[in-house]
Amino acid sequence: MSCRMPECHRVRPNGSVVKLDHDKDTSPGATFYYCSIHHVYHCVAVRAHRRLPQPLCGECAWLFFKFPKEAAKHPESDITAAAGPGDVPVIAVGSSLGSRDVYESLFGSQKSNAFDPTAERVRQAPDVADSSPKALSRIKQCSGPDEYGTYMIDADGDIIMRDVIVSSEQRNDLPTIPASRIVHLPIQRSRDGRRDDFLQFIPYDNPAVFDVRPAQWHRIRRGVFLFRYTDYRGWPAVQPVADERRIRAYFKPLDVIEGDGFCDRALIEARWWCCWAQGITYVEPELRWVLTLIFDLIGFLIEKQRNATKNSIIQGAGGLTLERMFWEGRVYLHSLIAIVNDMKEGFGIENLVIPQLP
């Protein structure tokens, strides 16, 4: 079965390029696998004498193959994912102030505190990258004193953050920043405080809510099951589920890039938890969808913190700036976990343990 992502492909030793079929075994050459955690196509060259299963589209190839025994990875050749199924132009990461994609609209309606079930305000909202006066009137500048603390809040209370470090002269000119460099995190909206108001958070008119579905047992990792879902870009994604011991072992290969102090350890532990929680047998679809939001948000925050830490080392940025970014990540995470806690109470899921993050 041919892959939906436009740049999942293999370059054969003779230089010819073929579309990737994830259901077939590997063959010689360099293969580019789309990863929904890192939002790149990982370049992997499997040992020529081996014929191995391949990861599902969206599964991180760095977590699938054993390096260097089975294959060699070439991160310098990774391709940034700029388009989804159907070669759709890239949209803002988590952006929702447009109507091009149903999941894009989802993120503009609500995220961590309440959702408007009708999503009417989303359909009427202006595009983030729109430079019209109407669009700009909905955005309030809330820049911090440094390059890492810049963010904006729109009229609905959603945080709009940039996922790259920008110069001071760019801060007050949001429309000049490409949409692909803007992150929309609807965290700030207030809820009415009742235990049962978590249903306001769910956009029931969005098919992505009911698109989280079990896929299959992992092809090589015993005890690991895979769920397919639609991520915040509207692209295919995969979330692994397993018990705590197995899920820790599954993500261990990422310790090389995440376990060096470049990102908040609480995010890594929260990722283990949401993958464990997704594995509970009887869970309402609304909760499964929120768990995928947490999984996506954690992946994004880890990458953002890693990049900021690396840049701070190179440019000599202050430690207080990085510390604030770490705490901001926890605020976003706490907001979504609060929704999960309310769902646990509302749906009566007794075996769901809610983590106590610092």
CA distance 227 to 30: 27
- Helix 244-251 with 265-278: angle, nearest 10 deg: 130
Instruction: Tell me the average pLDDT across 125-143.
Output: 36
Q: What's the sign of the alpha-carbon dihedral 81, 84, 87, 90?
A: negative
- Largest Cα separation within the chain, whole Å, is 63
In a domain, 90, yes or no: no
Q: Residue 140 above 50 pLDDT?
A: no
pLDDT of 206 reads 76
Instruction: Tell me the average pLDDT across 59-66.
Output: 96
Q: Is 140 exposed, middle or buried (0-12, 13-18, 19+ CB in 10 A)?
A: exposed
pLDDT of 4 reads 84
41 Cα distance to chain centroid: 15
Q: What is the per-residue pLDDT across 28-55, written as a single tens digit (0 to 9) for each? A: 999 999 999 999 999 999 998 889 999 9
In a domain, 340, yes or no: yes
**Closest among 174, 179, 138, 171 to 157, alpha carbons compared:** 138
Out of 69-73, 106-110, 200-204, 335-339, least confident range: 106-110
Q: Residue 233 above 50 pLDDT?
A: yes
- Residue 310 pLDDT class (50, 70, 90 cuts): confident
- Higher-confidence residue: 6 or 158? 6
- Higher-confidence residue: 23 or 126? 23
% of the chain at pLDDT higher than 70: 65
CB 293 within 8 A of CB 198: no
Q: Is 288 exposed, middle or buried (0-12, 13-18, 19+ CB in 10 A)?
A: buried
In a domain, 93, yes or no: no
Domain range for 59: 9-80
Residue that finishes a domain, picked among 80, 101, 133:
80
pTM, rounded to two decimals: 0.73
- Total domain count for the chain? 2
Residue that finishes a domain, picked among 47, 80, 113:
80
Q: Residue 242 above 90 pLDDT?
A: yes
Name the most confidently modeled range: 158-162, 233-237, 344-348. Answer: 344-348
Q: What's the sign of the alpha-carbon dihedral 61, 58, 239, 215?
A: negative
pLDDT of 158 reads 52
In a domain, 142, yes or no: no
pLDDT of 272 reads 97
Mean pLDDT, the chain, rounded, equals 74
- Residue 195 pLDDT class (50, 70, 90 cuts): low
Q: What is the per-residue pLDDT across 151-169, written as a single tens digit (0 to 9) for each? A: 455 555 555 554 444 444 4
Percent helix, strand, coil in the chain (nearest 5)? 35, 15, 45
- Residue 244 pLDDT class (50, 70, 90 cuts): very high
User: What backbone torsions phi and psi does residue 33 show, to the nearest 5 degrees?
Assistant: -105, 130
- Residue 82 pLDDT class (50, 70, 90 cuts): confident
Residue that finishes a domain, picked among 80, 112, 132:
80
